[in-house]
Amino acid sequence: NLQVRLACRPKGRPVLADFQFTSEPLPIPADGQLLVRHEWLSLDPYMRGRMADTPSYAPPLELGAVMLGGTVGVVQASKHSNYAPGDLVLGMGGWQAYSLADAQGPAAPLKLERSEVPAFAYLGALGMPGITAWYGLTQLLRLSPGQTLLVSGATGAVGSVVGQLARARGLRAVGLAGGAHKCAHAVQQLGYEACVDYRDGPDAMLQGLRQACPDGVQGIFENVGGALLDAALQLASPHARIALCGAMAGYNGEPIPLAAPQLLLTKRIGLQGFIITEHLPLWPQARQELLALWRQGQLQQHSTIVDGLEQAPEAFIGMLQGQHLGKLLVRLT
Ligand code: NDP
């Protein structure tokens, strides 16, 4: 069983030496457990937080532990009547080829129907990132058709779903992304009305946003923070709402102070941070709505796929620098 473990706590940007590959004999399920062979592993920004031991909403990974992560796989052996060999399951199997899971309790894998929906979508548009997009948009921002929504990290796993959901709800979504090809993708594939390249610098970004948002911005779906949040506050209309989903710009320890926090006051802006795993009771409803949009052809998964667990550390390091498009996945071979 090939595994990737946390070798060192990263200092700043993670490096390959922070990860260690190990190989162990296949584990044998005890009563009430199942053995899952992973087909897909999801790489997500939150993993960077778990590699550190600074205080956060979730405890850090122990040094030497297998890296955690969402997986889709096939049951190989089961010692519980709820699961049979061959079942397709979504779980938190981690960065390894196989995992043991408890068949009962909060961490029990979710059985997936085999359908026209590709299994890996349950790690992206129909999974945690999609549900995050759905929650921020429908539960926190609650915009009306025609209102303008600004989304940073517009082409990432979450942002790519926010754009499509916004389009389906009749909102005007404007994205922020790094690079001309990402901006073109946001407009051509993800339902964004416009997308501004923040890499052109703060002045050009602000000018681009002013052009793209002539009526200001009533909702902000914030994935990045730093200079992008500063620009969003400049554009915000009075009483705008911010769903504070992530702060990519600061995940490697970079300071990301707000340039003008007084704008929150003078514009009477509502800012709500959230952690999607604290809203598990809403996940079935969210998944159902996302699946309905998928079946109507209004939601697609856009992914970057790397092959082999051996590639996971490098792909993860690249992800934190925005080197991918859409949901970053590892296909296990
Ligand atoms: P992705 O890595 O797929 O996308 C993040 C995007 O952020 C990338 O597209 C990248 O694109 C951009 N980005 C990365 N680094 C920087 C930087 N330094 N400055 C500006 N932009 C940057 O991640 P997800 O879509 O999965 O997650 C998006 C955010 O949502 C993350 O912050 C994540 O932690 C958060 N999240 C929060 C959840 C919650 O419960 N609150 C749940 C799930 C995700 P570009 O090239 O355009 O810069």
Q: What's the 75 CA to ligand 1 centre distance in angstroms?
A: 31
Domain-ending residue, one of 277, 294, 316: 277
Segments in the chain forming alpha helices (H): 46-51, 128-134, 157-168, 180-189, 202-212, 227-235, 262-266, 283-295, 312-319
- Tell whether 132 and 273 lie within a shared domain: yes
pLDDT tens-digit profile of 2-26?
Answer: 999 999 999 999 999 999 999 999 9
Domain contains 289: no
Atom of ligand 1 nearest to the CA of 136: 41
- Tell whether 87 and 189 lie within a shared domain: no
- Tell whether 132 and 270 lie within a shared domain: yes
Domain contains 188: yes
pLDDT tens-digit profile of 142-171?
Answer: 999 999 999 999 999 999 999 999 999 999
- Tell whether 162 and 183 lie within a shared domain: yes
- Tell whether 202 and 156 lie within a shared domain: yes
- Tell whether 84 and 27 lie within a shared domain: yes
- Tell whether 111 and 134 lie within a shared domain: no
Domain contains 286: no
Atom of ligand 1 nearest to the CA of 274: 41
Residue 199 in this model has a pLDDT that exceeds 80: yes
Mean per-residue pLDDT, 73-78:
98
Domain-ending residue, one of 232, 262, 277: 277
Share of the chain above pLDDT 70, in %: 100
Domain contains 108: yes
CATH number at residue 306: 3.90.180.10
Atom of ligand 1 nearest to the CA of 49: 34
Residue 333 in this model has a pLDDT that exceeds 90: no
Share of the chain above pLDDT 90, in %: 97
The CA distance from 261 to 241, in Å, is 14
Among residues 303, 296, 305, 321, which one has the least CA distance to residue 130?
A: 303
pLDDT band at 55 (very low <50, low <70, confident <90, very high): confident
- Tell whether 89 and 167 lie within a shared domain: no
- Tell whether 149 and 106 lie within a shared domain: no
- Tell whether 138 and 248 lie within a shared domain: yes
Q: Please state the domain count of the chain.
A: 2
Domain-ending residue, one of 260, 277, 294: 277
Domain contains 283: no
- Tell whether 174 and 101 lie within a shared domain: no
Domain contains 297: no
At 257 the pLDDT is 96
DSSP strand pairing (303-307 vs 88-91) = unpaired
Range of the domain at 18: 2-121+302-331
The CA distance from 277 to 275, in Å, is 6
Q: What's the 161 CA to ligand 1 centre distance in angstroms?
A: 12
Q: What's the 154 CA to ligand 1 centre distance in angstroms?
A: 8
Q: What's the 38 CA to ligand 1 centre distance in angstroms?
A: 25
pTM above threshold 0.95: yes
CATH number at residue 273: 3.40.50.720
For the question of an ipTM over 0.90, the answer is yes
Q: What's the 77 CA to ligand 1 centre distance in angstroms?
A: 36
Ligand 1 site-directed mutation target among 131, 165, 248, 304, most atoms within 8 Å of CB = 248
Which residues have any ligand 1 atom within 6 Å of their CB? 44-46, 129, 132, 153, 155-159, 177-178, 182, 223-224, 228, 245-249, 274-276, 319, 322, 328
DSSP strand pairing (236-244 vs 270-273) = parallel
- Tell whether 159 and 272 lie within a shared domain: yes
Mean per-residue pLDDT, 123-140:
98
At 91 the pLDDT is 98
Domain contains 272: yes
Atom of ligand 1 nearest to the CA of 323: 46
Q: What's the 246 CA to ligand 1 centre distance in angstroms?
A: 7
Domain contains 145: yes
